[in-house]
Amino acid sequence: MTILVIARSNDPHRQSEALRAALGLTLRGAAVEVVTGPLLTPLAERASATLRSFGYAVHDTDLAEAIARADRVEVWT
Q: Where are the beta strands (DSSP E) in 17-71?
A: 31-36, 57-59
- As a whole number, the mean pLDDT across the chain is 96
Q: Where are the beta strands (DSSP E) in the chain?
A: 2-7, 31-36, 57-59, 72-76
| pLDDT over 90 (residue 61) | no
Confidence of residue 63 (pLDDT cuts 50, 70, 90): very high
pLDDT in tens, 12-34: 999 999 999 999 999 999 999 99
| pLDDT over 90 (residue 47) | yes
Q: CA-to-CA distance for 13 and 7, rounded, in angstroms?
A: 11
Give Cα separations from 13 to 3, 10, 22, 73, 76 (angstroms): 21, 9, 14, 20, 11
Q: What pTM does this model have?
A: 0.93
CATH for the 2-76 domain, from 1.10.150, 1.25.40, 2.40.128, 3.40.50: 3.40.50
> Domain spans of the chain?
2-76
